Amino acid sequence: MDIVMQSRKKTVSPSHSWQVLERARDSIAGGDSSTMRVLPYHLPLVAEHGIGCRLWDVDGNEYIDLNMAYGPLLFGHCPPRIIESVTRQIGENGSQLGFPTEISMRVAEKIKACFPGMELMRFANSGTEAVASAIRLARAVTGRSKIIVFEGHYHGWSEGIFHRYHASLSDLPPAGFGAALPGTLGMNGGPRDVIVVGWNDLDLLDRCLNAHLDSIAAVVMEPIMCNSGCIPAHEQYLQGARALTQEHGAMLIFDEVITGVRVAAGGAQEYYQVAPDITVLSKALGGGYPVAAFGASRAIMRVIADGSVFHGGVYSGNAIVMSACEAVLDDVTANRSKIYDHLEAIGRQLANGLDEIMTRFHVPHVVHQVGSIVSLFLTTDEIEDLHCYRDVRRHCDFDKYIHFQHQMQRSGVYFHPNQFETMFLSTEHSADDIATVLDRVEDTVRCTLVK
Ligand SMILES: Cc1ncc(COP(=O)(O)O)c(C=O)c1O
């Protein structure tokens, strides 16, 4: 907050971004429809337009965008092939037909080719909705009530699962697992029957499952934790969780809202070769259009197909988002190795560059990267690695990161000021763009982080 106030004081004539936000606060609660976009420590930035990997604000400032709208923009801003597919659909056939359509059938078949475990699926409009449906499905099919989630993992804000995923250390269960706390005021006792457990500790998960014998409907996870910075699963962790859930008759739900289509065409389940029971997709699947999907085997999805578990939605599977999905899926399947090799190469270039600069300037840090997902953690002390949410809470210097982000934003590179949020790259970031980012990182570190 201090930093924002200082920057306001220094600004002789307020920026247009600042003025728009001030005015918006009079008609939109908090100034924007997502709290994550208007946190108190955000430097004002009202976006005007984006092209490729670049973004311009209403003051005409240009940024290399390392946020990519929190992940959906796998092909950057204004991707021509998606625009072409969407405009053809709305110009020739309509946006919302209110009937089954051939295009949603085609998209489902294309998803199935990438995610063979999604034998049957349903479309939804957001990750929150799709996860809520997935846990309802797991409860209905198993006849059990309890759900296990992980510290630091986010699955949307529904009553069923929104837990305090960024709880303070003192609010976390001392035993390593325990009842999940509500994520917000107003949850009326929710999230009911949700247990939270530490990430990347199979023994803990085993103990948690045993403590709730025969009552766990599902274990829900981001197969690569991306909502407390990027913390991949340890080697064999996903396989271990798969075996434990099978042993206990609980479903394994992979919330691939972030990782689906991003880390591989077939998501983290393809990347790590571990098959969940239920899969949830969203962000990169739509390339910037609001879509989500959840799906599983025929046997599991039968209750949705026959209507005994309700799922609906006026806009679910509408033709606009389906045409965007079709363009994304056609591209990732036709150009699979070219796309993911490039994303891996630029992801590694960014991660290695950040690591090298921070090491050279003796700035304590940890860098994690999986493909186009990159996290820089600025830590209070030199540590080997971060393995779970508690490690991030214990060791990370959030104020230092905010300060660093503010200077980077001023230099024309945008990523989120909270190090819980990862950086996302797109096919439109070139090696030269990453080299420019790294030059600016080096200048910023030299000027602001070195004592
Ligand atoms: C892993 C994960 N699951 C679910 C959600 C919720 O998706 P939405 O914001 O579309 O409701 C998010 C959002 O960032 C997410 O990262």
- Which pLDDT score, from 0 to 100, does residue 13 have? 85
Q: How far is the CA of 190 from the centre of ligand 1 (A)?
A: 18
Kindly report, as residue ranges, where domains of CATH 3.40.640.10 are found in the chain: 80-334
Question: Using one digit for the tens of pLDDT, what is the confidence trace for 189-242?
Answer: 999 999 999 999 999 999 999 999 999 999 999 999 999 999 999 999 999 999
- Which pLDDT score, from 0 to 100, does residue 12 have? 61
* Angstrom distance (rounded) from CA 383 to CA 400: 16
- Which pLDDT score, from 0 to 100, does residue 3 have? 40
Confidence band for 4, pLDDT divided at 50, 70 and 90: very low
Give mean pLDDT, residues 42-70: 98
Calculate the average pLDDT of the chain.
Answer: 96
N residues, the chain: 451
Contacts of 385 (CB under 8 A, 6+ apart): 366, 391
Mode of pairing for the β-strands spanning 120-124 and 146-150:
unpaired
Q: Does domain 2-78+336-449 have CATH number 3.30.430.20?
A: no
What backbone phi and psi angles, to 5 degrees, belong to 332? -70, -25
Q: Whole-angstrom distance between the N-terminal and C-terminal Cα of the chain? A: 23
Among 442, 117, 147, 94, smallest CA distance to 295 is for 117
Q: How far is the CA of 252 from the centre of ligand 1 (A)?
A: 18
Among 236, 241, 266, 267, smallest CA distance to 252 is for 241
Give mean pLDDT, residues 62-70: 98
Q: Is 283 a catalytic residue?
A: yes
Question: Using one digit for the tens of pLDDT, what is the confidence trace for 371-383?
Answer: 999 999 999 999 9
Is 278:300 a contact under the CB 8 Å cutoff?
yes
pLDDT at 81 over 90: yes
Kindly report, as residue ranges, where domains of CATH 3.90.1150.10 are found in the chain: 2-78+336-449
CATH topology of domain 80-334: Aspartate Aminotransferase; domain 2 (3.40.640)
pLDDT at 368 over 50: yes
Q: Is 146 a catalytic residue?
A: no
Q: How far is the CA of 25 from the centre of ligand 1 (A)?
A: 25
Residue 47 identity (one-letter amino acid):
A
Confidence band for 448, pLDDT divided at 50, 70 and 90: confident
pTM of the full structure:
0.96
Q: Check the CA dihedral 401-407-408-410 and report its sign.
A: positive
Q: Helix, strand, coil shares of the chain as percentages rounded to 5?
A: 45, 20, 40
Ligand 1 atom with minimal separation from the 222 CA: 1
- Which pLDDT score, from 0 to 100, does residue 1 have? 34
Hey, whose CA ends up nearest to atom 13 of ligand 1? 156
What backbone phi and psi angles, to 5 degrees, belong to 426? -135, 170
Ligand 1 atom with minimal separation from the 292 CA: 10
Give mean pLDDT, residues 135-160: 98
Which of 283, 289, 340, 397 is the catalytic position?
A: 283
Which of 57, 193, 201, 255 is the catalytic position?
A: 255
Is 244:208 a contact under the CB 8 Å cutoff?
no
Is 383:364 a contact under the CB 8 Å cutoff?
yes
- Which pLDDT score, from 0 to 100, does residue 333 have? 97
